[in-house]
Structures are given as structure tokens and as C-alpha cells.
Structure 1
Amino acid sequence: MAVPEVNEKLLRELEAMGFPSARATRALQGSGNASIEAAIDWIIDHGNDPDVDEMPRVSIDLDVRSPEPCFVTEEMKKKARQLRPEEKNSPREREKERIRAGKELLEAERIAEEIERRRFLASRKAEKEEEKRARERVLQKLRNDKLERRQKLEVSSDSLMSSKHTLPLGETKMNAHVYSAAKAEQMRECLRSIRRNHKGDDARVRRAFQTLLTYIGNVARNPEVEKFRRIRLSNPVFQERVGALEGGVEFLELCGFRKTEGLEFLFLPRDKVDMGVLHSAGSQLKSALTNPYFGLL
């Protein structure tokens, strides 16, 4: 099999128009080497053939005759431009390839950043969970220590109450100090209860502490005045500020107030006024008012 012989002049003209050599050769062969126009018409008709750009092969030589001189017209050049296959290495193709490569690079960078972001978030989540567990361990230890101290103080208080009439004077004073510390801890627990149960309402907690401080201060400054030692339980202001809060009435009872028959009043008898207890209560209230973390741990 050999490449068919075609008119070299026509072949060069077709190649000059931009047609591949194989297509131009096949067009001249198919059009019988008649003319440039005939070859272009053949390309129009067979441009979609799968083998249009394959070099034709023949088993016999063709009788190639020189055609009459042919002039290339503008119409023929226009058809040639329309039919000329676009080269893969043309500027337009190179630009498309550059844009595609750029998009692929940006997508790869985006994926890498997303993976890194997820890894960072997972790491931060693990750190926060570990911090939370550590904080819980500290809080649990504080609660256990507080419970242990309270139990010790309650045991000391019970021992004092059962033996205060039989102990020597020196031991009685020492146990009285332990009893006072136990009562102070009970007062703090009442105030902590108010703070914990209303930790979302700081204004109400502060108002309750200030009201209790006013009650205690009035009695301490005027122990002879009965009106300061009597509180009506049904008073709306008292109920809203102290009575309705868990720990409020209990705190006053630790200061010496007792509910009267009929549960109408909280009353502190004159002979039961203990200035040491009142001063201790005032100190606990001032500490609760000035310490922003009081009752939160």
C-alpha cells in the first residue's frame, strides 16, 4: 500500500490554508485532483468522517494529471478557515488548559484547608472536653472537702451540746469556739443555697443578702427595740426578698430568731440576743456581697 499521488501544487495550497497534509491528500484523492474548490467541497462533505485525518493508502498508482491553473478565491479561503481544525497548542487551548489547571489547584487547596480546619476543630473539642473533666474533678474535690468539714463541724457541735455542762472551764471555751465555727459554716451554707438556687438572677440574690444584713444590723445596733426583733412572715416585702428563697428563714433562725405560735412572726427574745452570733452573721453576709464567686464553687 502506498500514499496516492496527488497534485503537489494543489496539495501545497491546501496546506497553506491550514489543512493537515493527510486531510488535504484525502480531499484531492476524493475530488480527483480536479481543483482547490472541488477539494474544499469534498472536505465539507466528509469533514465528520472518522478517518478524514488519516493518510489514505492505495495499492495502485494514480494517473495524476496537472489540472488547469486554479485561482484561490476569498470564498474558498473562508471555507478553508471554517473547516480548518483547531490546533491543540493554539493560544486559546493553552489558556483553557491554564484555567483548568488553576481551578484544580484552587480546589485542592480548598480541600486541604477544609481538612486542616476540621482537624483543628476536633483538637479544640478534645481540649475543651479535657478542661471540662479537669474542672469537674476540681469541683468534686471542693464539694467533698466542704462536706467533710461540715460533717466534722456537726459532730463537734453535737458533742458540745451534750457535754457543755460537764466539761472543765478551759475545754468549754474551746468547744464554744468550735460550736461558733460550726454555726458560721451553717450560715454560709444558707447563703450558698440562695446563690445556687438563683444564680441566674444576681440582682435578686444581692437584694436578699442586703435585706438580711439590714435585719441583723438593726438588732445589733438596737437590741432593746422590739420592732427590730420581730418580723411578720406574711409581709409581702419580706416574702419576696427573703421568705420565698430557700435558706433565707433558716439563716435568721441561726441568728436566734424563732417562729411564734401560729407561725405569724419570726421573733428574737431580748435574752437570746447574742452579739457574737450577730457579728458572725454580718461578716458572712458582707463576704457574700463582696465575693463574686461566693456560692458558685
Structure 2
Amino acid sequence: MGEKFFASVDAKKLALMVSAKNLGKNRSAKALHFTRDKGTIEAAEAWIAENSGPDLDKLPDDFVEEALASLGGGDVAMTGEDDVDMTPVVDDRKVGDPNPPEIKEKVRQDLLQQVLEMGFSEVRAEKALYKTDNAGLEYAINWLTEHADDADIDLPLLKPPPPKPKMSKEEAEAKALELQQKLREKRAEQERQADKEKEEQRKLSTRLMAEAQEKSKEEERKRAIEQQMREKEEHERHRAELKERLRQDYIERFGCEPPEDKEEEVVKEKTSKEQLAFFLNKLKKTYKDSNPEGLKTCVTTLKAYIKNLHENPLEAKYKKLKLDNKAFQSRVAPFEGALDVLDVLGFEKKEDCLEQRKSTPDGFLCGQAIKWIDLILAQL
């Protein structure tokens, strides 16, 4: 696309601006394009001076497309293969022949005279002025210096081909419309392709996200299972520690091993209601005679815990019992069977507390526990 744009401006003027003036090719081509109505290098240089900026040397595709479309085929040779003259050119030039009349008539005679006075031959002087578009003596001398060693420097120029007939206004407009339509179709196709790629990328991102989420959920499930296993082991360890503590207390108090209670092993296989009744009854039998005041304090504290949970099942603060709480340590923990009651009601050990493992506590079981504790208190 860029080469078509360069071909749309005067090649000789473009070469002069790039080589003699040391101006960039892109900015020179843009300047010649916008000053084509004036057709001089001076006008192009003035345009560059007026439009200097960071984008001056850029040739984005949309600019090139619009520039070519604006020409409409009338000012440039926007032709296909059918418009090209394919007649072979016979080169019979030889040293000493003059330049063709078509070349001579385009050379400024005043500049030609100045170049001749500097000692250059007429053929070389005319070639230099023709090639530099009569831009000035300096340009012609620079051209002669650069091309002094060319093998054909003393050969005359070829006769230029006859100018191609310009399109009519109607043909130019039709050509411009055709080019603009092609440009619109090209842009539409590019947009369709971009939308397709975006959609494919969106689907890929969605699939990868879903896979990542599923993987994350699976890992979370595994962690939850592992956590449950750790908590269960911790719970069992804690129960064993409490049991051993109670065993040591029994030995210190009575001087012998406590009797084995196989009934406790059997009760674990029974319903939650039966287990609750067993452990509350165990509390009563164990401490009713030996420590009635301690038993009363223990079951009263248990009742407060259970009642708060029963009446406020969604309150988080009633679902946790701090193990290092002084009241808990003195009133509940020392009494065998008290922690079993809390366990049946859904409390399990987690780090520094007993926490309700059920999102919604068993209201019926809590109600039964309060009822049986009231019976125990009535008997004390």
C-alpha cells in the first residue's frame, strides 16, 4: 500500500527532496501529495515547515487509503495491466547523439546555459536539468556529481513515452467510487476477522476460567476433607486427653484405676437423644453424692450454653465456647460427661474453642437437654 502511495507522487521531485534536501521519504511524499496542485518542490518544502510534528513521518494505512481514494485515478496512473503499454522499447542510443526534442523542450534554457558555462557537455547538462526537474543550478550540479561515473552518463535519454490520456471526470469519479468501495469492503472484512478472533479469544478465556474454577473447587473440597480429618483426629485426641485426665484424677482420689465403662462404648452407636440422656445421667450419678454443688454449677452452666444456642440458632457468638475461659475451665471441663454432652449437641474442638459444627443446631435435641437438666437440678 505504501509503494502505491509513493508511486502516486512525482518520482523525480521525491528523489530530489530525499537525496539533495536530506528530507525523509515519507514526509516528502506527503508534502508532494498535498501540494500537487502547485507542483513545485518549494511548495512541498513550505508544507513540511508548516506541518512539522511527531506524526509527519508516519504513513498509517488509513491515511494511505484515503489519500489514494482522493486521487480517484485522475492525477495518478491507477491503472491495471490493461492500461500498460507492453510494446518493447528499442534502445539504439550511442554516444554523441543529442537528447530527444521532448527532453530538450522541458529544459530551462537559462539554467542550461549556466551548466554549459561550467564545462559540462550539452547531453549531460540537459540530462541533469531534466532529472532534477529544473529545480536549480545546485540540484543539477549535485546530480552530475553523483552520476559522473554512470556507464550511460554520455548517452542521451530515451524518448519519453507519450502521456496517457486522462480520464474524464465521470470516469475518474467512477474509479474513485470503485476504489472507495473496495476499501470499505476490505475494512469490513478486517473488522469481521477481528470480531471472530475476539470471540474465539473470549470462548477460550471462558473455558480456561471455568477449568480454573473447577480445579479450585476440587482443591477446596480436598482441603475441606483433609481439614475434617485433622479436626476429627484432634477431637479424638482431645477426648483421650480429657479421659486420661479424669483417670488420673480418679487414681489420685481413690488410689486405684477407675472401673472400665464398656457401656460408654456401646452408647456411641445409639441415637443422639439416647447418647444425650446417657451422658447427662452419667454426670448425675458421678457427682450427685461426691460433689453436688459442683454438679449443680456444671449443669447450670451447660443449660445456659444450650439455651442461648436454642433461642439464637443463627447467632455466631453462641456457637463458640472458648476453652481458656475461666468459667468453662472451672465449671464444665473438670466434670466427666460434660464435654460429651456438648459433643452430642454438635460442638467440636477447633484450635482454642469448641465450635458448633452444624450450621443450624438441632432444636429438638437442645430442648430435650434443657428439659433433662431441669430434672437433674430439681433432684439436687
Class of the TM-score when normalised by the shorter of the 2 chains: 0.3 to 0.5
Higher RCO, Cα 8 Å, sep 6+: 1
Q: Under a length normalisation based on structure 1, what TM-score does the superposition of the two structures give? A: 0.36
